[in-house]
Amino acid sequence: MAVHRQPGTVITDRTFTLPLDHADPAGEQIEVYAREVVAAGKEHSELPWLLFLQGGPGGRSPRPLGRDSWLTRALDDHRVLLLDQRGTGRSTPATRQTLSARGDAAAQARYLTHFRADSIVRDCEAIRLTLLGDAGRWTLLGQSFGGFCALTYLSFAPQGLREVLITGGLAGLLSSAEDVYRAAYPRVERKNLAHYARYPEDVAAVREIARHLSDRDVVLPGGGRLTPEAFQSLGLMLGSGTGSHTLHYLIEDAFVSTSTGPELSDSFLSEVQGHLSFATNPLYAVMHEAIYGQRSVSPAGTGWAAERVRAEFPQFDAAAALGGGRPVLFTGETVHPWMFATDPALQPLRETAELLAQHEEWPDLYDPAALAANEVPVAAAVYHDDMYVHTADSLATARAVRGLRTWITDEYEHDGLRASGGQVLDRLLRLVHGEL
């Protein structure tokens, strides 16, 4: 159990051996890693625990650099546990490299059915019993998908929770994947229009890039193909506080002059690859729609819902936009089958992803009756026009969870927890403690 010191913190590595399937505790085991962080000088103090669940799915926990970001506030009075959710980071990884050892696509898909919020919550409970004992309770902080997990935790294991804080992660309890994306495309369009109003010169620049990609086969430095659709998916960044500015700076010097005419620069292609590659988080793509699968809502599975629903919004068709002289719109947080053909990190998982898309009868992730009877204090930050999570769904869920208090704000975007330093976390702590 390694212990490290960073500026203002003491960090302890912890690894837990847990069942792949908690319904079969004697079966296959996996490792789940967590990083304990405590303020320097308080490492021997009796402090309440705060468990952090990262957004995703498929995102590893933050790698702290001392007392930074929201940890500045959390470490004032908590011992923090940063969990690498199963399959991510230092927890037994699930990638194209490791999954190949499991056998064919069907075997890989069966394995990955154990990587949703219900299994993550059971991991958390097993870890809590190890660290805190049966009587111990911890505060749960869930960001984005981590908030979805928090609702699952409140549904099925509230006995482990002292209080719950959710930022940008109040999922629709009865929303299917189709519902989610049908509500998402109009929000993404609004973010596009706001970006083009802020940077009107980007309208022509984006059209020029999209036309160039339509006319040529462009390969990224890592071997992936940059198609117009892949370029449009850079719109994922429009949901963060600084994303529009980052996108503008990426676009503004995309081309260089060469002896054969304008070409997309090496620097542009390298930066684009960093945004588009799923090499660091393949589970995000493979499991993304599965996080919305619930047998009581959509027993037939998710079936590439984002791709099917996109056809209802022709304004996102790049070829039609180019032909009609309209702005080319970026897309948002959607996963499509073509990604498993253009990204080398996903290509070996193409058949596995298809099987998961067709998987039926996903277990329910939320218990509305348990949430209606909730006794755990809960506070949630709801971002006014969150690009990733439908505000109307969030508010409906807030009303469905007994005692949940909301803070609705347009001061921050979806990344408010990180971008605000400790301000968002402090506000939620004061809400849940009844100070506001």
Q: Which domains does the chain have, with CATH numbers?
A: 3-173+366-432 (3.40.50.1820), 177-357 (no CATH)
Name the percent of the chain lying above pLDDT 70: 100
The verdict on pTM exceeding 0.95 is yes
Instruction: Name the one residue in this structure whose structure tokens are 């503004």.
Output: 252
Write the single-letter amino acid at 207: R
What is the mean pLDDT of the segment spanning 336-343? Answer: 97
At 381, is the pLDDT very low, low, confident or very high (cuts 50, 70, 90)?
very high
CA angle 8, 12, 18 (to 5 degrees): 145
Selecting among 118, 343, 386, 415, the annotated active-site residue is 386
Count Cβ atoms within 10 A of the Cβ of residue 375 and give its class: 0-12 exposed, 13-18 middle, 19 or more buried.
exposed
- Reading the block at residue 119, the tokens are 């299994």
Residue 282 in this model has a pLDDT that exceeds 90: yes
Compute the C-alpha angle 315/255/206, nearest 5°. Answer: 15
How far is 17 from 11, CA to CA, in rounded Å? 20
Dihedral sign from CA coordinates of 236, 364, 166, 145: negative
Residue 145, both tokens: 């998908």
Q: What is the mean pLDDT of the chain?
A: 97
322 contact partners, CB below 8 Å, separation of at least 6: 207, 210, 211, 214, 328
Angle between helices 391-400 and 177-198 (to 10 degrees): 130
Give the whole-angstrom CA distance, residue 151 versus residue 173: 9
Q: Please give the pLDDT value at position 429.
A: 98
Whether pLDDT at 315 is above 90: yes
What phi and psi, each to the nearest 5 degrees, are found at residue 225?
-100, 130
Distance of alpha carbon 98 from alpha carbon 108, whole angstroms: 10
Is position 386 annotated as part of the catalytic site? yes
Closest CA to 59 of 38, 37, 80, 82: 82
Beta bridge partners, 6, equal 9
pLDDT category at 125 given cuts 50, 70, 90 is: very high
- Residue 417 backbone dihedrals phi, psi, to 5 degrees: -60, -50
Q: Which of 78, 288, 359, 414 is catalytic?
A: 414
Q: Identify the band that residue 1 occupies on the pLDDT scale cut at 50, 70 and 90.
A: confident
Active site residue: 61, 119, 144, 394, which one? 144
Residue 77 annotated in active site:
no
Let me know if 144 is a catalytic residue.
yes
Q: How confident is the model at residue 44 (pLDDT cuts 50, 70, 90)?
A: very high
